Structure 1
Amino acid sequence: MTENTAIQEFSTHLRGKLIQLGDPEYDEARKVYNGMIDKRPQFIVRCVDVADVMQAVNFARDQKLLLAVRGGGHSVPGMGTSEGGLVIDLSLMNGIRVDPDEKTVRVEGGCTWGAVDHATHAFGMATTGGVIASTGVGGLTLGGGSGYLTRKHGLSIDNLLEADMVLADGSYVTVNEKSHEDLFWAVRGGGGNFGVVTSFLFKLHPVSIDYAGPMLWSLDQIKPVMQWYREFALAAPEDLYGFFAFLQVPPGAPFPEEYHNQKMGGVLWCYLGDPDKADKVFDPIRNLTPKPAIDLVGPIPHPALQSMFDPLYPPGEQWYIKADFINEIPDEAIDLHIKYARELPTPTSGMHLYPIDGAAHKVKKDATAWSFREANWSQVIIGVDPDPANKEKITDWVRAYHEAIHPYSAGGAYINFLMDEGDERIRATYRENYDRLAEIKQKYDPTNLFRINQNIKPVAMA
Structure 2
Amino acid sequence: MIDLNNVDELQINKDHQIKFKHFRKTIQGQTFMKDDTDYEKVCGDRWDLNVVNTPIIIVKALNENDVKETIKFSRDNKLKVVVKTTGHNNNSVTDGGVLLDLSLMKSISVNPNNQTVTVGGGCTLHDVDEATSKYGLATPLGQISSVGIGGFSSGGGFGHLTKLHGLSCDNLLECIIITADGESKLCNNETNQDLFWAIRGAGGFVGVIVSFTFKCYPISNVVVGTFIYNIDGTNNAKNALIEVGTRHLNTSDPLVYAININPGLPDHVMVKVLYFGDSSIGESLVQQFQNSTNPTTSSISIDTPFTKIQWEFDGIIAPGKYYQEGPLLKSTITPAIADALLQTISTRNTQTFSSIIVTELGGKVNMVHQNETAFPVRNSTFNIFISSVIFTPNLEQPLKEWTKNSINLFKDYIAGEYINTSYSTDMKLIFKENFDRLIKVKDQYDPNNIFRSLK
Is the pair's TM-score, using the shorter chain for normalization, greater than 0.5? Answer: yes
CA distance in 1 between counterparts of 2:272 and 2:295 reads 15
What is the deviation of 1:232?
Answer: 0.9
1:354-406: CA deviation from partner (whole Å, max 9, x where unpaired):
11111112212111111111221122222224444432343232122112222
CA distance in 1 between counterparts of 2:65 and 2:56 reads 21
* Residue 130 (1) aligns with residue 142 (2): yes
- Within the candidate set 12, 15, 30, 2:43 is matched to 30
Note closer, same or farther for the CA distance 1:262–1:21 as it changes in structure 2 (3 Å cut).
same
- Counterpart position of 2:425: 422
CA contact (8 A) 2:223 2:283 kept: no
- Counterpart position of 2:406: 401
- Counterpart position of 2:454: 456
CA distance in 2 between counterparts of 1:377 and 1:122 reads 30
1:302 is aligned with what amino acid?
F
Note closer, same or farther for the CA distance 1:447–1:226 as it changes in structure 2 (3 Å cut).
same
CA contact (8 A) 2:130 2:307 kept: yes
Note closer, same or farther for the CA distance 1:45–1:165 as it changes in structure 2 (3 Å cut).
same
1:293 is aligned with what amino acid?
T
- Within the candidate set 172, 181, 186, 2:193 is matched to 181
1:317-344: CA deviation from partner (whole Å, max 9, x where unpaired):
3333232333233333322221222233
* Residue 203 (1) aligns with residue 201 (2): no
- Counterpart position of 2:22: 9
- Counterpart position of 1:333: 337
* Residue 223 (1) aligns with residue 227 (2): no
1:90-140: CA deviation from partner (whole Å, max 9, x where unpaired):
000011011111211110001000011111111110000111100110001
2:401 is aligned with what amino acid?
D
- Counterpart position of 2:380: 375
Runs (5+) with no aligned partner, structure 2: 1-7, 11-16
Q: Which moved more, 1:433-442 or 1:33-42?
A: 33-42
Please list, as runs of the form range in 1=range in 2, the aligned pairs for 1:108-147 lying within 5 A after superposition: 108-147=120-159
- Counterpart position of 1:42: 56
CA contact (8 A) 1:106 1:200 kept: yes
What is the deviation of 1:199?
Answer: 0.6
CA contact (8 A) 1:16 1:47 kept: yes
CA contact (8 A) 1:323 1:381 kept: no
2:42 is aligned with what amino acid?
A
What is the deviation of 1:277?
Answer: 1.3
Give the secondary-structure state (helix, strand or coil) at the position aligned to 1:311.
coil
CA distance in 2 between counterparts of 1:184 and 1:369 reads 9
CA distance in 1 between counterparts of 2:225 and 2:392 reads 29
CA distance in 2 between counterparts of 1:214 and 1:6 reads 58
CA contact (8 A) 1:371 1:433 kept: yes
CA distance in 2 between counterparts of 1:305 and 1:236 reads 24
CA contact (8 A) 1:326 1:379 kept: no
Give the secondary-structure state (helix, strand or coil) at the position aligned to 2:386.
strand
CA distance in 2 between counterparts of 1:160 and 1:33 reads 25
- Within the candidate set 256, 262, 266, 1:247 is matched to 262
- Counterpart position of 2:65: 51
* Residue 445 (1) aligns with residue 446 (2): yes
CA distance in 1 between counterparts of 2:411 and 2:297 reads 30
- Counterpart position of 1:262: 266
CA contact (8 A) 2:9 2:21 kept: no
What is the deviation of 1:149?
Answer: 0.5
CA distance in 1 between counterparts of 2:448 and 2:22 reads 24
Give the secondary-structure state (helix, strand or coil) at the position aligned to 2:150.
helix
- Counterpart position of 1:285: 289
CA distance in 1 between counterparts of 2:251 and 2:332 reads 16
- Within the candidate set 101, 113, 119, 2:113 is matched to 101
CA distance in 2 between counterparts of 1:289 and 1:65 reads 56
Note closer, same or farther for the CA distance 1:72–1:280 as it changes in structure 2 (3 Å cut).
same
Note closer, same or farther for the CA distance 1:90–1:262 as it changes in structure 2 (3 Å cut).
same
Please list, as runs of the form range in 1=range in 2, the aligned pairs for 1:304-319 lying within 5 A after superposition: 304-319=308-323
CA distance in 1 between counterparts of 2:324 and 2:168 reads 24
Q: Which moved more, 1:364-373 or 1:43-52?
A: 364-373
What is the deviation of 1:297?
Answer: 4.6
- Counterpart position of 1:255: none
CA contact (8 A) 1:216 1:295 kept: no
Note closer, same or farther for the CA distance 1:446–1:279 as it changes in structure 2 (3 Å cut).
same
Question: Percent identity over the alignment?
Answer: 30
Runs (5+) with no aligned partner, structure 1: 251-260, 458-462
Give the secondary-structure state (helix, strand or coil) at the position aligned to 1:268.
strand
- Counterpart position of 1:20: 33
Q: Which moved more, 1:362-371 or 1:128-137?
A: 362-371
1:247 is aligned with what amino acid?
N
Note closer, same or farther for the CA distance 1:445–1:322 as it changes in structure 2 (3 Å cut).
same
2:441 is aligned with what amino acid?
I
The alignment's C-alpha RMSD in Å is: 1.9
Q: Which moved more, 1:319-328 or 1:158-167?
A: 319-328
Q: Which moved more, 1:63-72 or 1:339-348?
A: 339-348
Give the secondary-structure state (helix, strand or coil) at the position aligned to 2:261.
strand
Note closer, same or farther for the CA distance 1:447–1:133 as it changes in structure 2 (3 Å cut).
same
What is the deviation of 1:223?
Answer: 1.6
CA contact (8 A) 2:247 2:253 kept: no
What is the deviation of 1:294?
Answer: 3.7
CA distance in 2 between counterparts of 1:50 and 1:96 reads 15
1:170-222: CA deviation from partner (whole Å, max 9, x where unpaired):
11111001110010011001140010000100011101422225322111221
